Amino acid sequence: MKLSRSTSKKTSVLQAKVFLKYVVLIGIAYSSGFAALAYGQQTSQKTSFADNQKPNIVIILADDQGWGDLSMNGNKNIRTPNIDGLAKQGAQFSRFYAAPLCAPTRAGLLTGRYHYKAGVYGVSQNQEFMNLDESTLADLFKAAGYRTGIFGKWHNGSQYPFHPNGRGFDEFFGFSSGHYANYFNTTLDYNGNEVKSKGYIVDDLTNKAIKFIEKNKQSPFLCYLPYSSPHSPFQVPDVFYDRVRSRGISMFTRDSTLEEKDKTISALAMCENIDWNVGKVLKKLEDLKLSDNTIVIYMSDNGPNTWRWNGDMKGRKGGVDEGGVRVPFIIRWPKHIAKGLIVKEMAAYIDILPTLADIANVSTAACKPLDGLSLKPLLMGQNPKWPDRFLFSAINKKRSVRQGSYLAMEGELYNLKTDPGQRYNIAKSDPINYKSLNDTLQRWYADVIKNIDSIRWHPVGYVEFPLTVLPSQDANLHKFGNSHLSYSAPAPNSSWITNWDNINSYVSWDVDIHTSGEYEVSMYYTASTKTVGSEFEITFGNNKLTGMIREAFDPPLDPNFDRVKRELESYEKQFKLLKIGIVKLEKGKGKLMLHPISMKGDRMMDVKSLRLKLIKSSEIDPHTKS
């Protein structure tokens, strides 16, 4: 096995089995028609739906895949026949833009509005939560009679009703945070319950999506597949990694001194795995005779997460230059969208909701004013007139605006028609154009940022969704003195609270108790033998509950399949569930605090999450007769 860290014999056996499975399945897939499907040689078929019925929707979203991470865009380092074939069978946009980071793109895709307006201005510590008064793509299509499912990375809020099951999705299988610790045989969320995944995460997400499609083949469906790769950690089955590594890397980012070859190989191998899974989805649609009446979209959420070849574009994920936000976008709908169509007009992630609603004749009356435009005229119209629009990109202190061939940001102006690589700043030589665009950008930003809620209250206690998980990433850490209290990794997502070495330090969550009543409280923890006997207290207002660590549970980190040493994510380890007791909580907002009473040894327990389950409501049911 080609792993960057040593693993146990059991782990090696698992990888060997995974390798054999891929060798067999890839051979079967390509021999049975994947290759033909990839290059547009579809067999004739009859669809299950009449042309005048509602089209099915499949949206596949890659995580951190750059525009250059597809062989169709000229990258000789990678092979993506199924995605390339999808483009040949439909339309691709040459200038399509996402937001600079994961959660903002997802929010804009789902609402048709700039992510700031939807309340999303970051990727962790509650900045990724999408406002509850926004109507989502799933809300609209569910109301129109569609079955709705999401299989993958949500990243727009954890607790119900921020949870996907509260945002219009009938079925959810995946995870709600932005980073995940392990992509093999991990723990995921299925409609609010913890379940074990099987094998490699992207494969499992695809298999669950395929089952959803099979189950709903007789009714219109919206299937959203936001994959978790090639986002780090860089984990991928051997068959894909070995294939990319054996070919070697011959094309590099424009400053090759920035590129880390191991990361490039890993990311491209993850992209080839995505392509293989896209092929599985397309073949299932073909087998079920659903292809002709299914709109399939493929795109990425931002630019590449490492420095690698990206068509000479400047920048990468997290920035607002071309390389940070220009992404692939492909849409196929046989018999409606011409094969091989290249759309040169500028479009963006905020256009997806209005486009699909327009095509499917689904009302957007429930939405707030949309920022996006329907792309239907570009895809299906005759001589369409397209506005000379502004497109804005922003995250943190970085922001830019595009209009026509021009790109402007603070102190910079580029003509992308003559300078697609942004090598020549013309702000000083074209000051009138620069000032006009920059003024427009500053006015837009001031408008969208003004209503951002910096405190995000985590809802607790819905009768229809009684279990609320408060993960460590959503907690506020209150250090006292020289305390080392921290998350287990620089990026809070998928981490735990650790180094709790000061009895005066504490942790809190900003919560909004929706229902007064009795709650069963539990906690996922680890603790050494020295910590046994430590006591803690959970308080909310005047209500409190005490607990004690009575049993040591201090496992090592789980074996991992990393190809490259990770920089942001925590490694994964097992946690033990401690049932603490029952507490009465009153409806309202406030801080739920977890703080030590006594500390044995030199530190408190590590905490993965608190869990509150509503077991008895003290509120009067308005439907109950007196």
The residues annotated as belonging to the active site are 102, 155
What does the chain come to in residues?
Answer: 626
Distance between CA 38 and CA 54 in Å, rounded?
Answer: 26
Find tokens 């991992």 and name the residue.
560
Tell me which residue has tokens 């209500």.
543
- For residues 381 and 625, what is the distance between their CA atoms, to the nearest angstrom? 57
Name residue, tokens 């007769």.
625
> Do residues 455 and 121 touch, judged by C-beta distance below 8 A?
no
The answer to whether 160 and 129 have CB atoms below 8 angstroms apart is no
CA dist 90 and 294 (Å) reads 12
Helix axes 81-89, 261-287, angle to 10 degrees: 50
How does DSSP assign 533-545, residue by residue? T-EEEEEETTEEE
Evaluate whether 1 touches 7 at the Cβ level (below 8 Å): yes
| Helices (H), ranges, 160-260 | 201-215, 238-247
Residue 141's Cβ-side half-sphere holds a number of Cα atoms within 13 Å equal to 31
Dihedral of the alpha carbons of 405, 408, 411, 414, in degrees to the nearest 10? -20
| Cα 326 to Cα 88, 96, 102, 414, distances in angstroms | 20, 6, 13, 15
Distance (Å, whole) CA 153 – CA 173: 9
CA 364 and chain centroid, separation: 24
Tokens of residue 512, six digits: 């909004």
Strand pairing category for 347-348 and 96-97: parallel
Residue 486 Cα to chain centre, angstroms: 24
Token readout for 158 is 């954890």
Sign of CA dihedral 409, 414, 415, 419: negative
Cα(508)–Cα(490) distance, rounded to whole angstroms? 19
- List CB contacts of 28: < 8 A, sequence separation 6 or more: none
Amino acid (1-letter code) at residue 570: S
Taken in order 342, 347, 352, 357, the sign of the CA dihedral is: negative
Structure tokens belonging to residue 77: 């380092």
- Structure-token pair, residue 155: 């990243």
Structure tokens at 36: 């033909």
CA separation for the pair 565, 4 (Å, rounded): 8
Which class for 17: exposed (0-12), middle (13-18), buried (19 or more C-beta within 10 A)?
exposed
**Residues 314, 317, 319, 320, CA torsion sign:** positive
Phi, psi at 139, each rounded to 5°? -55, -45
Strands 221-230 and 147-153: parallel
